[in-house]
A and B are shown apart, each in its own frame.
Chain A
Amino acid sequence: MSIPDLIDADTLSATLAEALRTGGDFAEVFAEDKASTSAYLDDGRIEELSSGRDRGAGIRVVRGETTGFAHTADLSATGLAAAARAAAAAAHRDDGRVHEIALVAHDVAHPSPPSVRPGDVAKADKVALLLRANDAARADAPEISQVAVSYGDSRRRVVIANSDGLLTGDDQTRTFFSVGAVATGDTGMQTGREAVGHTVGFELFDRYDVDELGRAASQRARTKLAARPAPTGEMPVVIGPGGGGVLFHEACGHGLEADLIAKGASVFAGRRGEKVASELITLIDDGTVGGEWGAYAVDDEGTPAQRNVLIENGILTDYMWDFLRARKEGRARSGNGRRQSYKFLPMVRMTNTFILDGTDDPEAIVAGTDHGVYVAKLGGGQVNTATGDFVFGMTEAYLIEGGQITEPLREGNLIGNGPKVLANIDAVGNDFAFGPPGTCGKDGQGVPVGDGVPTLRVTSLTVGGQAA
């Protein structure tokens, strides 16, 4: 793969030189060209096809501890120079020197280049998928009162050049499909959703049958019609394979981001080398897992993605790093510097975050739980990294009674404290699976992330149900 041709190397060099004119000690140009298509079916109708194009560059200048940043949608040499001057304005120390930046190109292969570019697929073929999933979700299911189906693809080409001489880029294609169904019964309405998304092209649909996705969403909504209110209080919780990666994303992932560590805003600060979790837990963040939602060749600062072991057999081994934090600590970056788009500064973010397989038999984990909750799918979550307190939603959950999965439960939140929960994991299965695609939000920026877990049990979490 070659570096996308968004801005020529001479213009990049000149822009970096302009950016350093006020005495900055580091400058960077991040250029992005993103084309996206989305199609939406609701209420039985193809409501909308939408196409979007976002193109621009973000320029940052670092001087000591201060970063200046500006972005522009104008990729001409003049537009870039103006943005470079705006970014440089934050560093008032005109050294009068003329800078020359020699750029050296680094090609990094993408872990999963698309085999079928969505841009080459006829719109009619995308629309046909929506109709099929809608029909499948409604077939033989009179309780299904509404279905929405969504298709999306994007191609994001980026170029990163910096004053250290780096010139690199990436070409990221992502394809997404989701079905949301509403079932109506005597007890009111319930919802069910099924979503798949991978860092691949239109070949996503060789891997998934949209009829199956439609039926899965429909089944989930119908099952919940008979659901009873979730219990209230502390109890054992078993998380199903692939359904609960968000637990680790929230319970410890964010707390291992070096920017929060540096500000003392994490319960995991200063704990490298210490035991922070059950010895059954090995936590990985890996942007090189081909096809997963958080995969890429290089991060948004030009660092190649890599596999980072964060917790090994319960011992905290390392944090995740971006350029600024790694520079300050005098260590290597870990490929975790990401941004939502050229309009934002990068910061430390997760990629694909997951727990490695254990040795327990998943069925035995459930059978060994006398009373508790089985969560097949967790929804979104949120964490306060400074206290470790986190919360996440159960979108598909069941009661466990006498070692058996019994009745479905209505939605609710689970809450816990990261370090406590990590210590209280007493069983990890051997049935690892990646979960559905996620969007991780931090400081107002959303980036695509993946996660995964095998079946595992937490001995005590607080279930926030409505039952007294």
Chain B
Amino acid sequence: MSDELLAIADRVIGWARDDEQVEVVVGRSTETEIRVYEGDVESLSSAGTAGVGVRVIAGNRQGFAYAGSLDADVLGEVLAEARDNATFATPDEFLGLAEPDGVAVPTLDLYRESVASVPTADKVAMALELEAAVRAADKRISGIESAEYADGIGEGVVVSTTGIRSVGRESACYVGAYPLATDGDETKTGFGFSVGREPADLDVAAAATEAAERATRLLGAVKPSGGRMTVVLDPFVTAQFLGIVAGTMNGEAVNKGRSLFAGRLGEGIANPMVTLVDDPTDPRAYRATEADGEGLATRRNVLIDGGRLEQFLHNTYSARRAGAVSTGSAVRGFSSTPGVGARAVQLAPGDDDQPALVAAVGDGILVSSVSGLHSGVNPVSGDFSTGAEGLRIAGGSLGEPLREFTIASTLQRMLLDIVAIGNDVEWLPMGAAGVSLVIRDVSVSGT
């Protein structure tokens, strides 16, 4: 399959001039998405996307162009446009394409033929089964806003005049439901999902149970009284928190003075129990991948080791500017130049499960979901404030549901204020794995 994509990339590379570096990224994906509503298929989408992106570096200037098409006649145009764009950039001595660095590309087995071969009717059946199971799970389930099955196959190649030649192919599939639960005139929502590499990996029953539980457990929620207290973050919330923390360790942000951890390598920035790694070679991770966006092997990178800031993530450019080497952390699609990003962040787990953590906390709040992370967290200043819902922790047990409150602190303080990490690692469809996390001295607003 990927031979065709390589041939397209090779064709463009063949047009490169002696005085320029050229990198071609060719990507292609197919997706199926099925939504069901009240026992019927509401929509069934099947689609293919393909495109090519070309980066040119000439005279220490970089230009880029892309097209959402693999037509032979657009390839020349894209290259010409990238060349022209390069002439307007400011020269930068650190620019340069990735070169093979000797790190072996891992074999992760991320593709399953069955995503394509399982009949659409079977996929529809899974979505219908999920919707029915959520409805049956609890009599307070009053409706299902959406229940869906989705899968995708993505393949991509990166070829450059500097010797990069990388090929990758991955598959993923997902079922998810968003139910409404009603009691009297009060309505609450929840969600549940299951992800995998192929349909057989999906656990429809578990997704249904989770969706119904999340929707019903907040019925009757009250607004808590405010104050500073200890919070336990549910694995799903922790994963979102870790994604933001990893963003502050982006070498590009560090180089440009946009990271609150710039200049702090080797210092203690978190409680000593905290070890944080980004490991896209872990096949359990949703965004596991063999090669990064510049065609270099992905690798396990330790970001925080025993509370100490160990290293930042880099692509080729940010590494050269920082006097470091690429950590294989270039992220991109065919429509953009490579940025820097974490793909599979995980916190080294502790020994206790969530009930034990809750018992040890005594009094506080279990935060089951947060909203407004994109608007209430500033990764440059570290200010952290988010809307939240959850359950009261009283006398070491979970109590009444709580809503319409905020939790606030700063990223710097939250890392130092971590007091316990659970053993309940959950692999989620995002760039970080979840685990229960206990943070003390968080400001809670309420009545």
Contacts and interface: CB of A to CB of B under 8 A. Distances in A.
B143 A48 contact: no
B348 to A, nearest CB: 28
Interface stretch (B3-11, B62-70, B349-357): B62-70
A464 B383 CA distance: 11
Given A55-B69, A232-B443, A462-B405, A386 B50 contact: no
A90 B227 CA distance: 54
A413 B386 CA distance: 6
Contact of A72 (B48, B85, B375): B48
B387 interface: yes
B92 interface: yes
A110 B381 CA distance: 42
B47 A52 contact: no
A50 interface: yes
Nearest to B95: A47
Interface residues of B, number: 80
A65 B381 contact: no
A422 to B, nearest CB: 15
Interface stretch (A185-193, A236-244, A299-307, A359-367): A185-193
A393 B387 contact: no
A166 interface: no
B226 A67 contact: no
B259 to A, nearest CB: 9
B445 to A, nearest CB: 4
Given A53-B67, A65-B40, A184-B257, A265 B143 contact: yes
Interface string B91-120: 010000000000000000000000000001
B43 A232 contact: no
A464 B387 contact: yes
| Candidate in A49, A146, A411, A416 with the most chain B CB atoms within 10 angstroms | A49
B260 A381 contact: no
Contacts of B407: 464
Contacts of B374: 380, 382, 393
Interface string A436-468: 000000000000000000000000001111111
Nearest to A62: B43
A56 B68 contact: yes
A413 B385 contact: yes
Label chain A's interface by main secondary structure.
strand
Contact of B385 (A56, A71, A411): A411
Given A71-B47, A264-B142, A468-B228, A389 B387 contact: yes
Nearest to A70: B46
Contact of B42 (A39, A44, A65, A391): A65
A468 B67 CA distance: 52
A464 B385 contact: yes
Contacts of B146: 263
Contacts of A410: 381, 383
A412 B447 CA distance: 17
A314 interface: no
B372 A73 contact: no
Contacts of B41: 66, 90
A69 B381 contact: no
Interface residues of A, number: 78
Nearest to B65: A51
B165 interface: no
A345 B45 CA distance: 8
Interface string A376-401: 00011110101101111100000000
A71 B335 CA distance: 18
A45 interface: yes
A411 B378 contact: yes
A343 B226 contact: no
A197 B332 CA distance: 25
B422 to A, nearest CB: 25
Contacts of B145: 260, 263, 265, 386
B378 to A, nearest CB: 5
A123 B89 CA distance: 11
A42 B374 CA distance: 22
Contacts of B84: 123
B227 A468 contact: yes
Contacts of A417: 404
A391 B50 contact: no
Given A55-B69, A265-B143, A381-B375, A69 B387 contact: no
A360 to B, nearest CB: 27
| Candidate in B43, B47, B260 with the most chain A CB atoms within 10 angstroms | B47
Interface string A244-285: 000000000000000010011101000000000000000000
| Candidate in A233, A260, A265, A466 with the most chain B CB atoms within 10 angstroms | A466
Nearest to B375: A393
Contacts of B188: 386-387
A311 interface: no
A52 B78 CA distance: 8
Nearest to B187: A386
B44 A43 contact: no
A150 to B, nearest CB: 13
Contact of A382 (B82, B189, B372): B372
B100 to A, nearest CB: 25
B65 A382 contact: no
A182 interface: yes
B334 to A, nearest CB: 10
Given A188-B260, A391-B371, A65 B37 contact: yes
B270 to A, nearest CB: 17
Contacts of B260: 188-189
A329 interface: no
Interface in A64-115: 64-73, 86, 89-90
A68 B43 contact: yes
Contact of A465 (B371, B372, B386, B443): B443
B180 A386 contact: yes
B337 interface: yes
Nearest to B148: A443
B85 A51 contact: yes
A380 B387 CA distance: 13
Nearest to A380: B375
B408 interface: yes
B64 A50 contact: yes
Contacts of B44: 66-69, 89-90
A463 B445 contact: yes
Interface string A150-190: 00000000000000000000000000000000101000111
Given A52-B68, A232-B445, A413-B406, 9 more contacts: A49-B85, A50-B65, A52-B66, A67-B43, A70-B46, A123-B88, A263-B145, A379-B375, A468-B227
Interface of B: 37, 40-51, 62-70, 74, 78, 81-82, 84-86, 88-90, 92, 120, 142-143, 145-146, 180, 187-189, 226-228, 255-258, 260, 335-337, 371-372, 374-376, 378, 380-383, 385-387, 389, 403-410, 443-447
For the complex of A and B, the 6 pairs showing the least CB-CB separation, nearest first, are A464-B406, A393-B375, A391-B372, A391-B387, A413-B376, A49-B85
13 contacts: A49-B63, A53-B68, A55-B68, A89-B120, A146-B256, A182-B380, A189-B260, A232-B226, A265-B180, A345-B45, A382-B387, A391-B371, A468-B443
